[in-house]
Structure 1
Amino acid sequence: MNRSDLFQLTSLLLTYPDEELLAAGDELRAAAAGVDELERFVQWLLTGTRTEVQRHYVQTFDLRRRSGLYLTYYLHGDTRKRGMALLMLKQRYRAHGLHLADGELPDLLPIVLEFAATVGPGAGEAPLRQHRQGIELLRAALHDARTPYALILDVICAVLPQLTGEDLAALTALASDGPPVETVGLDAVGLGPDLSPYPACGNAEVSR
């Protein structure tokens, strides 16, 4: 599977499992063929009932702050820096002809993956590299939650650049302290996921 197809498929699999997605079982199985983690995830996705997998998605991504799909939150929390990061992402997309639907935030991981698939290496994958730490924190949180969605993040991390020692130090601090807090009225963030059981992966071969 080439990088563009991988990012396109993982983008799709990280969207809400609506009726249209679940009805495309044969196409999803064919697209995931050859990548063990994605084959296993698709099998899980298509085995449960629609109600079960939709409830699981909401509980995983919408009700748990530590495993949200909005990448700028991991680095900036709800601060003014996050607003600037969102604006820069939106401008990057616009420069390459990608326009978001009303209400869509540009840091939503499926959108970031779609951009990488559409534009390709270099400029297209730059937001993924920029938010590598947030993606790794999300991956660890999904493993903590023992959700099959962790399989998708394993595949994404496997093709991203290897984490540096500086990245690992920053990850440890973010996992311990949580994202920055500036805006009043927020819930307590608490400690991030324990990263120690999940060695960072990078530059692994994806094609099977």
Structure 2
Amino acid sequence: MPSDAVLYQAAALCLTYPDDDLVARLPLLRQAAPQLRAFTDHAALTPPGELAAHYVEIFRRGNRHSLYLSRWHDGDAPRRGTPVARFRDLYRRHGLECSGAELPDFLPAVLEFTARTGDTSLLTEHRDGLERLRTRLAGCGTPYAGVLDAVCATLPAVPRPGTEHGTGERTSVRPARPSG
């Protein structure tokens, strides 16, 4: 079984917009992270245009399946800037900068950070949001749910409401009502 770092890096690639680079890397991703085979096999068999259209449908239409972790905690409120700044500050403390057009709370960026540093604090802190995203993705039957399944399987379970410590069981968290 590959290390969690390999899984996190592979999951980061699977959760980015599916371009030619991703398609070219699918055989390597399939081999390096067998936990993602359902997704990589699906992506390899799906025409690139359909794969891209599905990504847009799932992740870029509204916030129902947002890949921005602070949205699961803070929504689109103006106060969301503070948590986003915390992500950026943590990256800098590890000698990394967030590059590109995405904000530092973008899940693929967080997964890449975790793969490079071994610091799972952001994923653990946002475990509840990851579980809600995973549940929503599974509910709509997208292969992206399997990517979240694999990531969530590496993290501590979400404690059940009313308990101070989790039971070690995986729990399902009800999705919050969609905003808007």
Please, what TM-score do these two structures have when normalized by structure 1? 0.77
Q: CA deviation at 1:19?
A: 0.7
Query: 1:144 and 1:76, CA in 2 relative to 1: closer, same or farther beyond 3 A?
Result: same
Per-residue deviation, residues 60-105 of structure 1 (Å, max 9, x unmatched): 1001411010010011011233111001111110111110125320
1:28-177 alignment, distance < 5 Å: 28-33=29-34, 35=35, 38-120=36-118, 124-166=119-161, 171-172=173-174, 175-177=175-177
Task: Name structure 2 gaps, 5 residues minimum.
Answer: 164-172
Larger Rg: 1
Counterpart-to-counterpart distance in 2, 1:77 and 1:56:
24
Q: CA deviation at 1:29?
A: 2.2
Counterpart-to-counterpart distance in 2, 1:133 and 1:8:
21
* Letter matched to residue 153 of structure 2: A
Q: Percent identity?
A: 38
Counterpart-to-counterpart distance in 2, 1:58 and 1:84:
27
Counterpart-to-counterpart distance in 2, 1:167 and 1:156:
25
CA contact (8 A) 2:15 2:108 kept: yes
Counterpart-to-counterpart distance in 1, 2:99 and 2:162:
33
Q: Secondary structure at the match of 2:56?
A: helix
Q: Secondary structure at the match of 1:65?
A: coil
Counterpart-to-counterpart distance in 1, 2:26 and 2:10:
13
* Letter matched to residue 78 of structure 1: D
CA contact (8 A) 2:59 2:65 kept: yes
CA contact (8 A) 1:22 1:46 kept: yes
Aligned positions, number: 171
* Letter matched to residue 29 of structure 1: R
Q: CA deviation at 1:8?
A: 0.9
* Letter matched to residue 64 of structure 2: R
Q: CA deviation at 1:24?
A: 2.3
Task: Name structure 1 gaps, 5 residues minimum.
Answer: 179-188, 191-208
Residue of structure 1 equivalent to 2:166: none
Counterpart-to-counterpart distance in 2, 1:88 and 1:7:
20
Please, what TM-score do these two structures have when normalized by structure 2? 0.88
Residue of structure 1 equivalent to 2:168: none
* Letter matched to residue 152 of structure 1: V
Q: CA deviation at 1:176?
A: 4.2
The two structures, once aligned, show a CA RMSD in angstroms of 1.9
Q: CA deviation at 1:162?
A: 1.2
Residue of structure 2 equivalent to 1:202: none
